[in-house]
């Protein structure tokens, strides 16, 4: 969001945690949501998704359709949830209490926290590996020492943004948007001659199941990875902001860069089987192999900044999710805790993990299922409401939203159990237990045609949404007709 404060005012550590943003501090217009969402998704990692999509065994046109539908639809979900921010003035995982109850909401808060910490860890590890690859090509090292220095630098930038909070993040995102946008265009121009349309167009088509698998992967890799943080920035907008504008600018800002990058990534990966395979091991570093040497340093800059842009938003939202899960510390300390875990996870990925893509896909689909269930419940709850949230009751277990209502928790557990039974992750050995419903439901078992369609994510989203829409209507109506109580202490 654009910085509307007086020029020269010094940045300070944000003191807001889970509390409501007062009207005096709410600023901007829906259009300003473009900056954080674009800056967080302009990463050159979007190019690698071309190889990921083709890895499902589908053609260029199928992969393009899966990407366009998956990216736009998933960020549209973010846009809908972002409306809750301007209606309730609180972080996403606090607004979720209206559906889950004050303490019942700790379950999705923990899942949200794990997802955002996982994402920031992946992004930092990719930035580190990309830097090492560039240094190796330049003959400047690229070994353990380079990786350690790169890891320290990118972690410092990310943790600093997460600890400082909203104002610094918005300034960073504006800079990242401009720098990465320009340098990414230069990259595209430099490697355009590596595209061979005859080779790309000759890629055979895949099955409907493979297309659906790619579509769901795109959804989990983009918008569904952000839905649990979608209202964290719109909560700073004035209450009078247009809901359509919030939805539109969130969706546009989040999807425009990934769409453009995906198209070019598909053309590159489809033109070279060698590059396609290399992306699986080092998604960012592999893209340097077709660059002229003089552009390697600028590429490292654009890669690191783009990944840090996403990681900063993740660490900010993961800190808020951790507070919502019940950790009684200031927001900046929660962000610091997440930073420590992020560093530990990045060290494992960079120095010890062998198969990046398999583990990454397993992580996305596994956590994508419960997040999809939460998203469905949150969307239905939002659709049922005709009034803004009672902000005081979001923090009061005895208020209108309740403490631990059984319906949303049971729906989440049921949707997650259904979802995990319909996805498979054979590339990640620790997830081979999934897919247990593919056989009983007549879908061919774990080796059948539907094994990699990742239907579980869509099933969890649908069950959460429809179940809430049908079963929670009376509960929401009762909440909205209840008389407001006395102000509560925010916690």
Where residue 350 falls among pLDDT bands split at 50, 70, 90? confident
Phi, psi for residue 43 in degrees, rounded to 5 = -55, 145
CA–CA distance from 147 to each of 119, 142, 243 (Å)? Answer: 19, 7, 44
119, 331 in Cβ contact below 8 A?
Answer: no
Q: What is the distance of C-alpha 305 from the center of its chain?
A: 17
Token pair belonging to 172: 């960073």
pLDDT at 72 over 70: yes
Where residue 14 falls among pLDDT bands split at 50, 70, 90? low
pLDDT at 485 over 60: no
- DSSP assignments along 75-113, one per residue: HHHHHHHHHHHHHH-S-HHHHTHHHH-TTTTHHHHHHHH
Q: What is the pLDDT of residues 154-204, one digit of tens each?
A: 898 888 877 776 677 767 777 777 888 888 889 989 999 999 999 999 999
pLDDT at 3 over 60: no
Sign of CA dihedral 387, 389, 393, 397: positive
Token pair belonging to 399: 């208020």
Give the span between the Cα atoms of 458 and 461, in whole angstroms: 5
The single-letter DSSP state of residue 354 is: S
33 contacts: CB under 8 Å, gap ≥ 6? 1, 82, 233, 234, 237, 246, 249, 250, 253
Give the span between the Cα atoms of 68 and 91, in whole angstroms: 29
87, 231 in Cβ contact below 8 A?
Answer: no
Q: How many residues does the chain have?
A: 491
Residue-level pLDDT at 259:
96
109, 324 in Cβ contact below 8 A?
Answer: yes
- DSSP assignments along 462-474, one per residue: HHHHHHHHHHSHH
Give the span between the Cα atoms of 296 and 137, in whole angstroms: 8
Give the span between the Cα atoms of 121 and 158, in whole angstroms: 10
């Amino acid at each position: 969001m654009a910085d509307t404060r007086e020029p020269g005012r010094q940045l300070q550590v944000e003191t807001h945690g889970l509390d409501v943003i007062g009207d005096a501090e709410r600023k901007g217009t829906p259009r300003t949501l473009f900056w954080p969402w674009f800056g967080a998704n302009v990463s050159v990692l979007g190019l690698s998704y071309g190889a990921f999509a083709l890895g499902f065994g589908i053609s260029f046109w199928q992969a393009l359709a899966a990407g366009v539908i998956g990216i736009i639809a998933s960020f549209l979900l973010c846009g809908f949830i972002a409306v809750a921010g301007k209606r309730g003035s609180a972080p996403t995982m606090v607004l979720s209490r209206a559906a889950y109850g004050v303490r019942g909401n700790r379950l999705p808060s923990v899942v949200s926290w794990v997802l955002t910490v996982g994402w920031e860890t992946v992004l930092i590890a990719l930035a580190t590996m990309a830097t090492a690859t560039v240094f190796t090509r330049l003959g400047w090292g690229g070994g353990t020492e380079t990786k350690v220095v790169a890891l320290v630098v990118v972690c410092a930038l990310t943790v600093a943004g997460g600890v400082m909070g909203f104002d610094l993040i918005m300034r960073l995102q504006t800079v990242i948007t401009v720098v990465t946008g320009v340098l990414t265009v230069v990259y595209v121009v430099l490697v355009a001659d590596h595209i061979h349309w005859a080779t790309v167009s000759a890629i055979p088509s895949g099955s409907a199941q493979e297309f659906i698998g790619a579509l769901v992967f795109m959804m989990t890799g983009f918008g569904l990875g952000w839905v649990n943080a979608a209202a964290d920035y719109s909560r700073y907008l004035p209450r009078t902001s247009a809901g359509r504008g919030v939805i539109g600018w969130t969706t546009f800002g989040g999807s425009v860069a990934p769409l453009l990058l995906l198209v070019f990534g598909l053309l590159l990966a489809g033109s070279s089987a060698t590059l396609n395979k290399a992306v699986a091991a080092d998604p960012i570093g592999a893209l340097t192999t077709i660059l002229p040497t003089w552009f390697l340093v600028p590429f490292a800059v654009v890669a690191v900044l783009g990944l840090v842009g996403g990681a900063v938003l993740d660490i900010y939202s993961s800190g808020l999710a951790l507070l919502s899960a019940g950790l009684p510390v200031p927001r900046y300390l929660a962000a610091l805790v997440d930073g420590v875990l992020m560093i530990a996870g990045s060290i494992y990925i960079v120095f010890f993990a062998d198969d990046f893509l398999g583990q990454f896909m397993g992580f996305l689909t596994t956590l994508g299922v419960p997040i999809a269930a939460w998203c469905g419940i949150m969307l239905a709850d939002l659709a049922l409401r005709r009034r803004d949230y009672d902000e005081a009751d979001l923090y009061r277990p005895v208020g209108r939203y309740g403490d631990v209502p059984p319906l949303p928790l049971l729906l989440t557990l049921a949707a997650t159990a259904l979802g995990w039974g319909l996805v498979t992750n054979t590339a990640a050995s620790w997830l081979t237990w999934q897919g247990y419903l593919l056989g009983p439901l007549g879908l061919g078992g774990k080796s059948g045609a539907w094994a990699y369609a990742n239907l579980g994510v869509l099933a969890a989203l649908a069950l959460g949404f429809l179940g809430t829409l049908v079963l929670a209507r009376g509960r929401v109506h009762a909440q909205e007709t209840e008389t407001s109580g006395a102000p509560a202490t925010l916690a």
